[in-house]
């Protein structure tokens, strides 16, 4: 979908949560031209621009969802209250029946949910990823989309998964808001040749690599029994680990493994809600990873295992879980949680230079958050980061912009109406859910 470039806009007197190096929060003006921030500070010029009175709003960087399977929207609630083994058994049976049409319907619903909750960038791992890309493009989001790669004998995909991933990358690599990539599923379905093939493809096409890593104790122990090494150390031994990689979960990591990930510049997407709901046991060592130098972002995982795509909720859960686990109220404070959802997420994606904060020259991905919403009272500058991390309701997000284009206005999608998207997802669910 091609949309004319958004006209210049000036947001007057907003409470700007810059997320810049100094983490400045100030009442000021922001000007957006040609999809980028061109002024952050008092006295923004208004010539040729639409002027928005933003006094009632906090202007907040768009959230980065660092791990998801956005097309699973129609599967929300399908496999609840099961451990990971039972969950995967149910989901694999459904996945085998999915078509590109219902994947696109699910992706539209998932991307819509993300935009409406302030997420502007998502890192996805699935198959039929062309359908996901069309949904992202259609609604105006920013997608980092990984085609799932497995050993050929372990997949229901038609054709070789690595070839499928290469084709997907070739079809979407020039899109301004979609960055295709390769996504090996995990050590339990990928052998050494598949891992190294994925790395070679990523290096040849200059893409990111995204994969699941050490999500469960069973995964770790079974791989160690098979190879003599835990997953991260085995991946390092075969020469796979390296820059431009984002590993999802990282729950069952030892100190040496964290140090190895840091040494190889591998980032981690922490997904606390999904991990707890699936009762994977243990708590991801987020503080220790950060101490070792690992960049850690936040991901929701899918609505089948979370059952929400809200990054506001994920910040809240991540913070409380670490405080409870470590018996320390200051563990993962509000500012760190917001960092993980914005600037650290951008760093994971290799996009620190143009995403994650409100600064001149960066892409204009941001939300306007209602300061008069009950969940943000008292609306004070010194409390806004705490409110975003711990209390803000998704309903407080009024409008959302990607590349300076308004894609959500006053809680309504701009490019496509919600009702047909909802109806499409319901129809897809009808074909996927077993009879009652």
Report CA torsion sign: 313, 314, 317, 318.
Answer: negative
What pLDDT was estimated at residue 1? 44
CB 257 within 8 A of CB 230: yes
| Tokens read off for 17 | 């949560």
**Residue 152, beta-bridge partner list:** none
| Separation CA 180–CA 245 (nearest Å) | 13
pLDDT in 10s for each residue of the chain, 436 residues: 445 577 899 999 999 999 999 999 999 999 999 999 999 999 999 999 999 999 999 999 999 999 999 999 999 999 899 887 888 888 888 888 899 999 999 999 999 999 999 999 999 999 999 999 999 999 999 999 999 999 999 988 889 999 999 999 999 999 999 999 999 999 999 999 999 999 999 999 999 999 999 999 999 999 999 999 999 999 999 999 999 999 999 999 999 999 999 999 999 999 999 999 999 888 999 999 999 999 999 999 999 999 999 999 999 999 999 999 999 999 999 999 999 999 999 999 999 999 999 999 999 999 999 999 999 999 999 999 999 999 999 999 999 999 999 999 999 999 999 999 999 999 999 989 887 5
Q: Hey, what domains does the chain have and what are their CATH numbers? A: 9-61+354-418 (2.30.40.10), 63-348 (3.20.20.140)
Q: Cβ atoms within 10 A of the Cβ of 228, count?
A: 10
Question: 23 in the Ramachandran plot: left (φ > 0), alpha (ψ -120 to 50) or beta?
Answer: left
What confidence score (pLDDT) does residue 89 get? 85
Angle at 216 between CA 213 and CA 312, to 5 degrees: 75
């Amino acid at each position: 979908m091609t949309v004319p470039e958004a006209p210049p806009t000036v947001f007057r007197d907003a409470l700007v949560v810059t997320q810049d190096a100094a983490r400045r929060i100030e009442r000021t003006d922001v000007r957006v031209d040609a999809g980028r921030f061109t002024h952050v500070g008092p006295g923004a010029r208004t010539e040729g621009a639409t002027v928005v009175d933003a006094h009632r709003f906090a202007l907040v960087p768009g959230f980065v969802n660092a791990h998801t399977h956005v097309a699973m929207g129609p599967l929300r609630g399908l496999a609840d209250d099961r451990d990971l083994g039972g969950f995967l058994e149910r989901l694999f049976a459904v996945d085998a029946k999915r078509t590109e049409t219902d994947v696109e319907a699910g992706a539209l619903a998932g991307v819509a949910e993300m935009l409406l909750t302030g997420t502007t960038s998502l890192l996805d791992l699935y198959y039929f990823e062309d359908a996901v890309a069309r949904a992202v493009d259609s609604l105006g989001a920013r997608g980092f989309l990984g085609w799932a790669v497995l050993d050929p004998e372990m997949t229901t995909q038609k054709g070789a998964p690595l070839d499928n991933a290469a084709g997907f990358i070739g079809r979407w690599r020039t899109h301004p808001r979609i960055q295709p990539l390769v996504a090996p599923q995990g050590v339990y379905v990928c052998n050494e040749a598949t891992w190294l093939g994925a790395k070679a493809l990523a290096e040849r096409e200059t893409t990111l690599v995204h994969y699941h890593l050490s999500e469960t104790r069973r995964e770790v122990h079974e791989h160690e029994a098979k190879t003599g090494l835990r997953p991260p150390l085995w991946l390092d031994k075969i020469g796979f680990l390296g820059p431009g990689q984002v590993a999802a979960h990282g729950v069952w990591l030892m100190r040496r493994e964290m140090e190895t990930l840091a040494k190889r510049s591998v980032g981690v997407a922490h997904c606390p809600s999904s991990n707890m709901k699936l009762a994977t046991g243990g708590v991801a060592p987020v503080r220790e990873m950060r101490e070792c130098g690992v960049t850690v972002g936040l991901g929701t995982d899918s609505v089948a295992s979370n059952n929400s795509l809200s990054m506001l909720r994920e910040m809240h859960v991540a913070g409380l879980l670490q405080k409870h686990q470590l018996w320390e109220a200051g563990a993962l404070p509000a500012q760190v949680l917001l960092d993980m959802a914005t600037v650290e997420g951008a760093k994971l994606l290799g996009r620190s230079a143009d995403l994650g904060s409100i600064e001149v020259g960066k892409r204009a991905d941001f939300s306007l958050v209602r300061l008069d919403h009950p969940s943000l009272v008292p609306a004070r500058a010194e409390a806004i980061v705490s409110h975003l991390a711990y209390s803000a309701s998704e309903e407080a997000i009024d409008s959302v912009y990607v590349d300076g284009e308004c894609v959500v206005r006053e809680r309504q999608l701009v490019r496509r109406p919600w009702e047909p998207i909802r109806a499409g997802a319901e129809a897809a669910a009808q074909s996927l859910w077993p009879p009652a």
